[in-house]
């Protein structure tokens, strides 16, 4: 007799997560899609987590108790091995899935058999549940893959993936205590398709006790190494980790603030090494762009999208370089112009050229004048 397995396994690991645990669990139990098992790993918690878990008597919930704290990576791999579903959905113990999340993700994956990992958009909330901002990573598949070379654009607590393919890849890398998701997604996208559903289906919580807050620097360092591996794999040669770190710093900070704020931050450190870092980052980005266009062979529309994203970053780097050192800036700027010749008429290009010839101080002095003519 063939056993009936659930379609989806929801996987959660919790360590001392009593504060938000019940809200997270209830958000899964209240899903419109019902054919799932809910695997919860209590990773050696010392607070009331165990008591909260015992208070639930839902047959869908399968509790695994680690005798000691093993960490998120090992705990998730334990859950993956135990999962019986065709698909696995991740859920963190401090986040809230909206009622149609599982239904919408499963529907997409079943309609797109080529996709192994599916992300979704998120509403970021604070410890009290107040809305802060929206996280809406790219949905164009090739732009998503392009961005993923440098930075994780899939929210860990919001993905659903094909269990068999992830198990074949060995699950999460046990050598990575932080940013283990970015490493796994990167390994997947080298041989399978990934996608993003443009719907907000989860509330992603940030608070003083969250992993992303407490281990921010460790996560960044581990992600630097993963991005470096991605780029080395693509280029088939060694790449400087420091150069990748420089590039990722630019991309990360740029996503959080305007180019003007970033420029002012760099201006506070007018050292030759800063200009060198910018130059090095631009060269790495350029090499990746050329290789992507050659190997991925995107169609006209995808080529236009990736080129626009690439050129935008190069222009920002050139502008920042001009603020520190005018010599060598045009060599960086030329990369953006070569990728998109029409961009020679962009306001940002013209302003950067003015910085090269007139100097950043003079351009800054007449900022309001340039703004009047849409050059800022």
Print pLDDT tens along the chain (376 aa).
456 899 999 999 999 999 999 999 999 999 999 999 999 999 999 999 999 999 999 999 999 999 999 999 999 999 999 999 999 999 999 999 999 999 999 999 999 999 999 999 999 998 898 999 999 999 999 999 999 999 999 999 999 999 999 999 999 999 888 889 999 999 999 999 999 999 999 999 987 766 555 556 778 889 999 999 999 999 999 999 999 998 988 887 655 434 334 444 443 443 334 788 888 899 999 999 999 999 999 999 999 999 999 988 888 888 888 777 778 777 777 787 777 666 565 766 667 677 776 666 655 655 555 555 454 4
DSSP codes, 159-186: -EEEHHHHHHTTSS-TT-SSSHHHHHHH
Instruction: Single out the residue of 149, 144, 15 nearest to residue 73, CA to CA.
Output: 15
For residue 8, the cross-strand partners are: 36, 87
pTM of the entire predicted model: 0.86
What's the CA gap between 56 and 131, in Å, rounded? 28
- 3-state class percentages of the chain: helix first, strand second, coil last, to nearest 5: 55, 15, 30
Residue with tokens 């959905």: 89
What does the pLDDT read at residue 264?
Answer: 40
- Which CATH code, of 3.90.550.10, 2.60.120.10, 3.30.70.2740, 3.20.20.150, is assigned to 8-214? 3.90.550.10
Distances (CA, A) of 28 to 92, 160, 181, 276: 11, 13, 21, 49
Which residue from 12, 46, 47 is spatially nearest to 29, judged by alpha carbons? 12
Question: Which tens digits make up the pLDDT trace of 81-122?
Answer: 999 999 999 999 999 999 999 999 999 999 999 999 999 999
């Amino acid at each position: 007799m063939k056993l009936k397995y659930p379609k989806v396994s929801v996987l959660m690991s919790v360590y001392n997560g009593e504060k938000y645990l019940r809200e997270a669990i209830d958000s899964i139990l209240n899903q419109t899609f019902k054919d799932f098992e809910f695997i919860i790993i209590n990773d050696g918690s010392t607070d009331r987590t165990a008591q909260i878990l015992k208070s639930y008597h839902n047959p869908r919930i399968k509790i695994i108790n680690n005798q000691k704290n093993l960490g998120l990576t090992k705990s998730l791999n334990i859950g993956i091995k135990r999962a019986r579903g065709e698909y696995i959905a991740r859920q963190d113990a401090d986040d809230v899935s909206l009622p149609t999340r599982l239904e919408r993700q499963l529907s997409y994956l079943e309609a797109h058999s080529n996709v192994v990992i599916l992300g979704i958009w998120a509403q970021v909330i604070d410890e009290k549940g107040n809305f802060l901002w929206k996280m809406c990573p790219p949905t164009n598949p090739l732009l998503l893959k392009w961005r993923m070379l440098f930075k994780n654009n899939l929210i860990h607590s919001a993905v659903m993936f094909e269990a068999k393919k992830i198990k074949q890849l060995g699950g999460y890398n046990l050598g990575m205590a932080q940013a283990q998701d970015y490493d796994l997604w990167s390994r997947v996208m080298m041989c399978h398709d990934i996608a993003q559903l443009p719907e907000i289906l989860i509330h992603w919580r940030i608070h003083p006790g969250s992993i992303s807050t407490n281990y921010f620097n460790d996560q960044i360092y581990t992600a630097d190494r993963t991005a470096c591996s991605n780029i080395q794999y693509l280029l088939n040669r060694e790449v400087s980790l420091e150069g990748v770190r420089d590039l990722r710093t630019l991309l990360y900070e740029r996503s959080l603030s305007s180019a003007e704020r970033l420029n002012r931050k760099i201006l506070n450190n007018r050292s030759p090494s800063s200009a060198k870092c910018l130059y090095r980052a631009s060269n790495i980005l350029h090499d990746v762009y050329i290789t992507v266009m050659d190997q991925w062979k995107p169609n006209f529309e995808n080529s236009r999208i990736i080129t626009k994203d690439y050129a935008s970053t190069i222009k920002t780097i050139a502008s920042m370089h001009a603020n520190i050192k005018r010599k060598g800036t045009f060599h960086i700027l030329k990369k953006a112009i070569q990728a998109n010749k029409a961009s020679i008429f962009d306001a940002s290009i013209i302003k950067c050229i003015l910085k090269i010839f007139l100097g950043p101080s003079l351009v800054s002095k007449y900022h309001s004048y340039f703004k009047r003519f849409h050059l800022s």
